[in-house]
């Protein structure tokens, strides 16, 4: 027979009041709220990191596109302009020096490209892309030649020259594509009082003219020297930095001169100075392109790593 024990049994409320204490009993409410929100906080932080990384990737995409466009522009410029982007723009002519010791005279026969006149006198092109080269323009350029060519004879500077004659182009209207191979020929005569033992010729044609800011024009000439009826020098460069020198005692006659085969109106072989400038330009262009491509490659590697990290989270 089972007997109830009132002192052991109670109401539900009484049993509830005698229940074991909660493990979180005595913990402040603020602490409870912070501990229960730990998971949500970590998730929010990861979300913010992902958003920041995606924003960085967008910036990197735009920067990579800009670098790629820069490399492409460099390559296109090099191809279009043949690597002479930073070399001085050249106007090339020809000069033959005739030394006559019987007459104590030096005669220069200078073939000048018409582009030299156009640059010096700022001659505008017409609606048909042609330039008009007048007789007056040719005469004015003769005076310009006299003031920009210097002749030193027997270590005496300042020898005075005079224009002998001018041979103008056959046509006065010259298309823009023909100005580099259409020539005006000048004869300049220098008279001296004694036999010519040494000769030094310099010129600074067009150096005061700017093709673009900081990039001046350069007029160069393929030169030859004939003394007393014999060819002494040929295919020499005369530029603003390379003088033409001659010594009667040291220079022997050439056995097979070839300068007569280079006719005015045709381009002489590539000039050493211009070729060196072009080579230097291509070297720098190639080095800069390699550096830019290397930076672009590193950006792409970094972007790939960031993409993997985002996908793994």
Please check whether residue 93 is in contact with residue 183, taking contact to mean a CB–CB distance below 8 angstroms.
yes
In tens, the pLDDT along 150-189 reads: 999 999 988 999 999 999 999 999 999 999 999 999 999 9
Identify the CA nearest to 99 among candidates 243, 251, 264, 258: 251
Distance CA 18, CA 24 (A): 17
Count of CA atoms in the C-beta half-sphere (13 A) of 250:
5
Phi, psi of 174 (to 5 degrees): -125, 125
Please tell me the predicted confidence (pLDDT) of residue 88.
Answer: 53
Tokens (6 digits) for 110: 């200078």
Q: Residues 55-59: what's their mean pLDDT?
A: 70
Chain position carrying tokens 């005692």 = 249
What pLDDT is attached to residue 9? 45
Q: Are strands 173-175 and 105-113 parallel, antiparallel or unpaired?
A: unpaired
Residue-wise pLDDT tens digits, 88-117: 567 789 999 999 999 999 999 999 999 999
Residue 108 structure tokens: 């220069």
Question: What does the pLDDT read at residue 107?
Answer: 96
pLDDT at 284: 58
Backbone angles phi and psi of 226, in degrees to 5: -120, 125
- 39 or 245: which carries more pLDDT confidence? 245
Mean pLDDT over residues 63-90, rounded?
Answer: 61
Residues 271, 220 contacting (CB under 8 angstroms): yes
* Least confident piece of the model among 42-51, 112-121, 274-283, 301-310: 274-283
What's the pLDDT score for residue 293?
74
Query: 301 pLDDT exceeds 80?
Result: no
């Amino acid at each position: 027979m089972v007997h109830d024990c009132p002192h052991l049994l109670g109401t539900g409320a009484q049993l509830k009041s005698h229940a074991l204490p909660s493990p979180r009993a005595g913990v402040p409410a603020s602490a409870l709220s912070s501990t229960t929100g730990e998971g949500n906080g970590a998730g929010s932080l990861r979300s913010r990191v992902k958003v920041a990384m995606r924003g960085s990737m967008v910036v990197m995409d735009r920067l990579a596109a800009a670098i790629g466009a820069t490399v492409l522009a460099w390559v296109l410029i090099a191809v279009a302009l043949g690597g002479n982007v930073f070399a001085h723009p050249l106007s090339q002519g020809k000069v033959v020096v005739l030394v006559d010791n019987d007459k104590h005279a030096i005669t220069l026969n200078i073939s000048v490209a018409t582009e030299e006149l156009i640059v010096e006198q700022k001659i505008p092109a017409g609606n048909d892309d042609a330039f008009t080269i007048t007789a007056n323009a040719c005469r004015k350029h003769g005076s310009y030649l006299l003031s920009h060519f210097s002749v030193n004879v027997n270590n005496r500077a300042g020898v005075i020259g005079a224009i002998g004659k001018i041979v103008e182009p056959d046509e006065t209207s010259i298309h823009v594509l023909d100005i580099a191979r259409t020539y005006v020929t000048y004869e300049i005569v220098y008279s001296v009082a004694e036999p010519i033992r040494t000769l030094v010729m310099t010129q600074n044609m067009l150096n005061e003219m700017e093709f673009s800011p900081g990039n001046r024009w350069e007029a160069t000439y393929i030169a030859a020297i004939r003394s007393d009826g014999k060819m002494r020098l040929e295919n020499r460069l005369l530029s603003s930095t390379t003088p033409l020198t001659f010594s009667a005692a040291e220079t022997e006659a050439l056995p097979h001169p070839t300068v007569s085969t280079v006719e005015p109106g045709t381009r002489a072989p590539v000039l050493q100075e211009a070729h060196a400038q072009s080579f230097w330009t291509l070297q720098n262009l190639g080095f800069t392109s390699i550096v830019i491509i290397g930076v672009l490659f590193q950006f792409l590697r970094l972007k790939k790593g960031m993409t993997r990290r985002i996908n793994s989270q």
